[in-house]
Amino acid sequence: MSKTRVPYSAVSLESPEGGRVHFTDDLHDSDAADVEDNELFDMTQSSEILEVADNDTAYYGMALSSRQRMRKRRGFWVTVVALVVFSVVGMFWLYVGGINWMQRSQKRNVILMISDGFGPASETMARNYMQKTRGLPVGYQSPLDELLVGSSRTRSSDSLVTDSAAGATAFACGLKSYNGAIGVDADKGPCGTLLEAAKLQRNMATGLVVTSRITHATPGAFSAHVAGREMEDLIAEYQVGNYSLGRVVDLMLGGGRCHFESGTSSNSSCRVDDRDLLSEAKRSGIRTLNSRHEFDKLDARGADVLPLLGTFAPSHMDYEIDRDATQQPSLAEMSEKALQVLEAATRGRNSGFFLMIEGSRIDMAAHTNDPAAHVREIIAYWDTVAAVRAYVDAHPDTVMISVSDHETGGLSVAKQLGPDYPEYRWNPQALEAAQHSIEYISLRLLPGPLQADEVHNEQSKYAFVRDTVFAKWLGIADAKHEELLAVARETDSIRLRELLSTALSDRAQLGWATHGHSAVDVNLYAYGKDAHLLRGNHENTDIGTIIEQMLDLDLSEITRMVKQDRTIQGTPAHAEAWLGRRDLDAPEHYPHIH
């Protein structure tokens, strides 16, 4: 038998080498085909015992069949390891690269609800009011109670007590700015907003629904870039598309028609210049609504509904306690209509919508320290939350976030009425009979276009205050002569409101610390897809950045695009006084509004 050069390591105990034999570089595994011809491994011809030097020599010292089985096992494990490595690499790629594609290809709806001026005490007050006046059980939970996930801090860049402009800018741009800032940073430079990025980067439909002027601080911060919140004429120009990005808001419903009407051709205009933005909007294809009738006639699921601008009052819409349902839609009705319109507009598309809804006048009632108007605004907001939650239930690709920009009024659900130790009580029933807001009442008592005919002399005014203001509109049957006389004689708007507030708040035993805002943390609510991301205590800027991440947006890119847009209004702007006097006295501030 001829000798075959073996390609493996093996030594005999009697081998003269007395050590390990190594492969040569030019030998391959195929050279082992003649291994059985090698007398070194012929176990039938020799009783020599082989000793292997290590695992490799043990392997090559095996019989061919054993080696083949081991090769199969090795091949199996190599395949398994390769698959594991491939899976890990694939998952890593999916996370760092593919996730962007997945996010952009998945339809998402984000509904951001802002309850302006609504603090934790206000939620307690409204819940207690419902329990006591509707006979609800102790365990009753409001539509918001069921969705509580955390809280939000509210400070601005220049104060521990924010205003609505800086608060909304924190949500819209994800950054801190100064009080009064509308979509600009602390250096007064434009900052890209969630609404702009949703439209331009995700091709999402966009909307704003409010009960204030649509040009007011909160909606303005999502749709404009101005250095001061009082520049509402310029905000209106942004909203109809007069800036570098063009029109980015598809739907706007609320009040504030006066900032879109020409100052020279309309009796209800509050613009300083003669621009007629309503006509400009119509020429650019924006559909306009100006009445409840037009609102009701709108086929939300019809074609060519968007873009849409609906303004249902010259200034702010009426408080819920004052609202004539035949003249103005409620916040819930406008929100439901908006959801129908936006859903129809995005049906069949891979992109959803971004909608901001604001319960605007919760804040204004608290500025006036008006507990009856405040609680009705909260309940109207609850109705809206319930409607939006029902939409989320039917559309699992949607998230609803509800948060306040700040607390207003320093409300406490208790009030000490004298020097003696106070009673532990408050009386929600004292608010139940009120029929009108303090704002409504004061405008009927003071000189102006809405002044009641009965107040033109002191005697008739006293009787009007006693029989109509207190007994009917405030629901107070035990008014004292001193209270009635003080209200009948008061001519200052702010002092009159304080007298009326005291009459209601003392009887309800509710306390107010301020006519302004406070620095208290506010409740944070969320429901739907990825709602868990909102759990815990957050800076208000976190709300914006979380939504930015949810939608895979890049606000810095939008900021670069708008950095050259003007932020100063070319015409004089009306500066707001303390107590938000312009907001409280809109018909007085604009004497030509009827």
Q: What is the CA radius of gyration of the chain?
A: 36
Give the whole-angstrom CA distance, residue 302 versus residue 495.
Answer: 50
**Dihedrals phi, psi of 16, to nearest 5 degrees:** -65, -20
Q: Is 351 a catalytic residue?
A: no
Query: Can you point out the beta strands (E) in 258-311?
Result: 287-289, 308-311
Give the whole-angstrom CA distance, residue 341 versus residue 206. 10
The rounded distance, in Å, linking the Cα atoms of 231 and 574 is 7
Query: What pairing do the DSSP bridges indicate for beta strands 522-528 and 50-51?
Result: unpaired
Residues ≥6 apart with Cβ < 8 Å to 30? none
Q: Determine contact, residues 37/2, Cβ cutoff 8 Å.
A: yes
Name the pairing type of β-strands 50-51 and 517-518: unpaired
Look-up of token digits 């809206």? 384
Nearest C-alpha neighbor of 522 from the set 230, 222, 207, 170: 170
Which residues touch 213 (CB under 8 Å, ≥6 apart)? 232, 254, 255, 256, 258, 259, 315, 316
How many residues in total does the chain contain? 594
Can you name the residues that pair with 526 across neighbouring β-strands?
401
Gap between the Cα atoms of 324 and 345, Å rounded? 30
From the candidates 122, 164, 404, 442, which is the catalytic residue?
164
Helices (H) and strands (E) in the chain, counts: 22, 14
Residue 114, SS3 per DSSP: strand
Alpha-carbon gap, residue 458 to 306, rounded angstroms = 53
* Separation CA 489–CA 587 (nearest Å): 21
Q: How many other C-beta atoms lie within 10 A of the C-beta of residue 157?
A: 17
CA distance linking residue 557 with residue 467, whole number of Å: 61
Task: Give the residue among 504, 503, 508 at the shortest CA–CA distance from 485.
Answer: 503
CB 183 within 8 A of CB 193: yes
SS3 318: coil
Q: Tell me if the bond preceding 7 is cis, omega within 30° of 0.
A: no
Would you please indicate which residues are annotated as catalytic (active-site) residues? Answer: 164
